[in-house]
Structure 1
Amino acid sequence: MTTMTDIPAVDWQGQPIDCSACEHQDCLALGTCGPLRSCVNDRYAKRIDRFFGTNPGLAKQYITHSYFEVRAVAAKYLDLFQLNRLINDQDETVRASVSLRLPAKLLTKLIHDPDREVRVRVASRLEPADLSGMLHDPDYYVRVVIARRIAPGMLFHLARDADSAVRREVAARIGVEWLTKLADDSDDEVRLTAIRRMPANLLPPYRFDSDWRVRYEAVQRLPTEYLKSMTTDEDTTVADLARERLELETSLENRKDAYDQHQSRQ
């Protein structure tokens, strides 16, 4: 197993680190930095993080450092005023780090960031009411995150999304009045998700679905009068469940009739 001390102490340009030439001699003397452990000049991000963790006040000095990892780690320790200076950093790793700390009201500045990972983080942190500006994001996973978080009343905008993963998330949260549209989706998983949330009285048309899982879900809750037609379903699992339910319903009806007759004789 590789440990931190197994990784050589070299800077971001691959040169050996020389502590005697470092401007942070005071930190070295205080023990808040040290080779192979905590060093802002090291190319290893964990060592950079340890340096700023024990010397957070120095982070602002490295906002314009040439090595992106230094800027990205420094972003974790900057005050919000200084952090704002990195919103348009040329490196996506830096902007991603910034997106984790910006106040929600400032995150809208990054909704059109060219990097999808940045936008995923933004979509994960924005207030749900502010997500509408990202509904048409070009990346499917950004839209998946939006579908999981946006207000249910706004989900109809994504009900016909080009990606089935997005539509599946929509089907899991959208209002019941939209479920029949999603239950007719071309994707089996979307239909199944919609069917599972659909009221029993709306299930009869889906007993003929091409996917046995949809039919199985339907047969579990179908009104009794539709069960007989499903006892001959091509899938034995569906047919067996239909017969079991039909037998149970018949048994319950017979018991009820017997009870009613008994009561009428008294």
Structure 2
Amino acid sequence: IGLTCSIIFILHSNYRRPLTKKLERHASGNIIRVELANQVTFFNRAALQSVLYDVPPGGTLLIDASNADYIDPDVIDLLSDFQKTGAPARWVQLSLVGFGERYPSLHDEIRFVEHSSHEVQQSTSPAEVLAMLLEGNSRFRAGEPLKRSMERQRTATATGQHPLAVILSCIDSRSPAEAIFDLGLGDVLSVRVAGNITTEEVIGSIEFAAIVAGAKLVAVVGHTRCGAIESSVTNYCCPDQSLVPECVHARSILREVAKVIDEDDCR
């Protein structure tokens, strides 16, 4: 009886949640990601078929079987038929991942770009890059980053880079640009300096990023509780309480920040 109940529970669970469907915005465009459940039985065939043929013509679809331990042969036949005839007939760019060698009729293949390529860089406007950064930050705050293949990114960016933006930010360990904007390899150039100051070297780096590397957007990103700013204000307002008395090479940073400190900040 216990075994029967367990089987019924598993089948019921997979019948209700045979897959998850997410719309992801990568640098190259929107990707519909379909993640298959741990067990994909013939009961799930109709739900999967509905998802496959709901993809708009010309869309990009990724079917991820990385978490699937078992896929019914009837479902494999459905996916194989869609790969050979259904997707091409509807101009759908179909990518498969996680099938490996377990299913000979299907082979893993990624047919979309996961990073910023030359074509993506040239066709993207500054406003679109900014929107992409804001969306990435929303995913970061929600704890829902895009799933990317580091191996494919390393291979694709080994011969060159085509960044969409250059980001000037602080050295704070809690705010790396690639993480807080949910970016991949090659998507942006990152300039980091304590206090976000703009020295000649920093401006030169940004200039290189925009003119030579082709970045479409310059973003200056600040953050709360910046140690460099707090130290600079304290050093300016209360020199005897300086937090960085031994930091000889940091004095240039303190001087740059001091230029914009108002006397009212010391009250």
Per the normalisation by structure 1, the TM-score is 0.31
More strand by share: 2
Per the normalisation by structure 2, the TM-score is 0.31
Q: Which has the higher contact order (CA 8 A, sep 6+)?
A: 2
Give 1 or 2 for the bigger CA radius of gyration: 1
